[in-house]
Amino acid sequence: MKITSSFNRALWVFHINSGSCNGCDIEIVAALTPRYDIERFGIKLVGTPRHADVLAFTGPITNDMVDKVKRVYEQTPDPKVVLQVGSCCISGGVFHESYHLAGPLNKIIPEATCIYVPGCPPRPEAIIQGVVKAWEFLEGIKK
Amino acid sequence: MNLEEVIELLKGMAKKYRIQSKMAGVKKKVERKSLWIDVDRDKLLEIVQLVVDNSTEFPHFCVASTSDMGETVEVIYHFTINYGKPLEEVQINFKVNLPKKDLWIPTLTKIVPGTIFSERELHEMMGIEIKGLQDTRHLFLTTDFPKGVYPWRRDETGPKNLNKLYEGWKQ
Amino acid sequence: MKYTVPIGPIHPALKEPILLSCSVEGEKIVDVDVTASQNHRGIEWIGMNRNNPIQTLYVSERICGICNLCHPACLAMAVEEAADIEVPERAEYIRVIQGELERIHSHLLWAGVAAHELGFDTLLHYTWMIREKVMDILETVNGNRVTKAIMTYGGVRRDITKESIPKIQEMLTYYDQLFNKLAKLFLEDKTIKMRTRDIGILTKKDALQLAAAGPTTRASGVKKDVRQDTPYFAYPDFRVKALTPDIHTGKTVGDTYDRIVVRLLEVKQSVDIIKQALENLPAGEIISEPKIPKILNKIKKTSGEAIGRHEAPRGEDIHYVKLKEGDEHLYSWKVRAPTYSNIMSWKPMLLNHQIADIPIVAASIDPCISCTNRVIIVEEGSEKILTHNDLHHLSRKKTKEVRK
């Protein structure tokens, strides 16, 4: 992986919790703390989707959060990549047959380019590898 | 009040009661007892008021649970009193049986304000009408959840539109 | 003139979706309303209709990722009482050790999040770095950092081996030495005192009537602790006492500062309990019936009902289970997580405070909305939507003003 000058600043990530159990969320925040420390590369969590390059989703999408998820996806400017963290986003996880779920993320936003990080919850090292793949993908677009 | 005094106090108003016990601990064994009392729907407010008046501190309300037994619906209110002193807590559970054709129960929020969330949940998940409750909005289900569908029932009003994974979402 | 401020589901302050609508008059909050339907996944329905009891244990573990042991512990307690399954002695001690390890990790996590709400990111990084020691021990003993999968009906699934005991003792001495430094960093800092003393007060009367549980109610002076009142597992051997803030500071006010004091004292108590448990660990088996089909058969043939209660890091967790003969699933299952009762205490705590106090007061009860679920302020006047970022920004701005 080469950090070229075509992508002038480091990746900024916006994290959305759409009904998750918080296991994946604490592993995302643990990736920022001094043990795993991806903040030294400039990757940080921002508070609004308008500044973000990568959207990190966790949790199975419940009925209530469907339109909010779609709105956040539309508010993020291009180029962008969706990072699906945890098995709940990818396929519903252990809750897949419930009456209050609206389905895996691919059913709601079919046109998004996604990077999948499976696990329940995935280790911080796996999340870092997912972010690195997102970075390589975005470098490829800019060139 | 310990367990025997509670039984003496409430014996007159209850239909029947039983005590369930289990041992705990390894080197020092103690016995954990819980009291299960069956009451009628019209005596429920009186019996709860009696427990509130006669205990040293305000009783602790845990939760209200419910089950669908076919023709009737069972609602259980779980309380505990006498916390604060080691090994002296008494667990009291009031069980009320309601017929499905006449499904209502009086509200306990005037005596114990902490029951408001439990009663809203009973109303939306099982379809029980709570008489006297002002706030009957949905608590955990969305506002556009279909009316008449009660997730915890086992008869025809249970949820049918399940989110099955491998049926037809892949184009 | 009133004003409604919806603090919407996607917000940077709290990491979980919940809708808090606060009615504001000027800068003071007048009324609070909570809508909590974003996280409901239908877990009780899954347990009653789709899974057999062993699968339900794994679903109950994923109710919450932080308080990970308390839900399978309550479920296992309730089914063992209803179906009369025995538990060997070594398993009871291992369950106590796992519960206390989880309490240390959860309280340190909360301390970091509370510091982040006030704008002290340095303290967040420091506390989470300290927490990594406990996560290493959890990984050595259980195999995974977050979801433990250690509970089953009739015992535990994995043993604490001889090689891991010296590592656990090394972690305990590390925390013993650090406790005074942590107490000084959190409790003697002038700015933290200014932002948390006399903010978010919950009186003893309110705490009793709204049936709050855990450190939220112990900080207001109510001595409620399931490990003291109705002990279970191996707790009768340990004589645990409920901790109130007057042990450390000398008085009980019931505000946010007192809740920080109670949680730090509980970390120290947990370290002492683990030390005592490791010294007296009895030898023997860890599970009474290792073959799973036999346990499932036994559960299928019984009928009865029981309650399991456990002291989670956030409060008292209670499960009710009813079994019916001939039915493969649990007939009835009700979960009540501690945040369910503690959320009702947001309303008396937030009245007459400013909007910038909302993040720290809301975080001080340690909300775990995914446990609950299964919020809106309405003000007359205009509707303005504040995102999480705005709130967080306001909170940091207030800290800067307070320090001048």
Q: Give the mean pLDDT of chain A.
A: 83
How large is the angle between the packed helices C70-83 and C89-118, nearest 10 degrees? Answer: 150
Q: Give the mean pLDDT of chain C.
A: 83
Residue-level pLDDT at C14: 63
Q: Is A17 within 8 Å of chain C by CB?
A: yes
For residue B69, CA distances in Å to B15, B66, B100, C47, C64 come to 19, 10, 10, 17, 30
Q: What is the DSSP string of C306-326?
A: EEEEEEETTEEEEEEEEE-TT
Residue at A4 is within a domain: no
Mean pLDDT value of segment C326-336: 86
Neighbours of chain C (3+ CB pairs under 8 A): A, B
β-partners of residue C336 are: C318
Amino acid letter, B93: N
Interface list for A 89-118 with C (CB within 8 A): 93-95, 97-101
| pLDDT over 50 (residue C19) | yes
Residue C404's pLDDT band (cuts 50, 70, 90): low
Residue C249's pLDDT band (cuts 50, 70, 90): confident
Question: Which architecture, in CATH terms, is C86-279?
Answer: Orthogonal Bundle (1.10)
| pLDDT over 70 (residue A6) | no
Residue-level pLDDT at C380: 32
In 3-state terms, what secondary structure has residue B64? strand
The reply to whether residue C58 touches residue A94, judged by beta carbons under 8 angstroms, is yes
Q: Is B151 within 8 Å of chain A by CB?
A: yes
* Chain A positions in Cβ-Cβ contact with residue C49 (cut-off 8 Å): none
For residue C115, CA distances in Å to A99, C12, C120, C191, C257 come to 38, 14, 5, 11, 12
The question of ipTM being above 0.90 is answered as: no
The reply to whether residue A99 touches residue B151, judged by beta carbons under 8 angstroms, is yes
pLDDT tens digits along C155-213: 899 898 888 899 999 999 999 888 888 888 888 888 888 888 888 888 888 888 888 88
Mean pLDDT value of segment C336-351: 83
Mean pLDDT value of segment C286-303: 88
pLDDT tens digits along C115-133: 888 888 888 888 888 899 8
The reply to whether residue C235 touches residue B65, judged by beta carbons under 8 angstroms, is no
Residue at A135 is within a domain: yes
Partner residue opposite B165 with nearest CB, options A64, A91, A99: A91
Q: What are the structural domain ranges in chain B?
A: 3-101
CA of residue C161 relative to chain centroid, distance? 28
Partner residue opposite A101 with nearest CB, options B145, B163, B169: B163
Partner residue opposite B62 with nearest CB, options C228, C336, C343: C336
Residue at A96 is within a domain: yes
Mean pLDDT value of segment A68-89: 88
Residue-level pLDDT at C173: 92
Which of the two residues, A37 and C273, has the higher pLDDT score?
C273
| pLDDT over 70 (residue B80) | yes
CB pairs under 8 A between B and C: 120
Residue-level pLDDT at C27: 76
* Chain B positions in Cβ-Cβ contact with residue A100 (cut-off 8 Å): 141-142
Q: Total structural domains in chain A?
A: 1
Residue at A38 is within a domain: yes
Residue at A2 is within a domain: no
- A104 to chain B: nearest residue by CA? B165
Domain limits, CATH 1.10.645.10, in chain C: 86-279
Residue C271's pLDDT band (cuts 50, 70, 90): very high
- pTM for the full predicted model: 0.88
Partner residue opposite C224 with nearest CB, options B32, B84, B87: B84
| Eight-state DSSP code of residue A64 | G
| Eight-state DSSP code of residue C145 | S
The CATH number of whichever domain residue A45 belongs to comes to 3.40.50.12280
Q: Per the omega criterion (within 30 degrees of 0), is the bond before C9 cis? A: no
Query: Range of A54's domain?
Result: 12-142
Which of B22, B55, B62 to probe by mutation at the C interface, max C CB count within 10 Å? B62
Question: Which architecture, in CATH terms, is B3-101?
Answer: 2-Layer Sandwich (3.30)
Residue-level pLDDT at B171: 41
Q: Is B62 within 8 Å of chain A by CB?
A: no
For chain C, percent of residues with pLDDT exceeding 70: 90
* Chain A positions in Cβ-Cβ contact with residue B159 (cut-off 8 Å): 99
Residue-level pLDDT at C377: 32
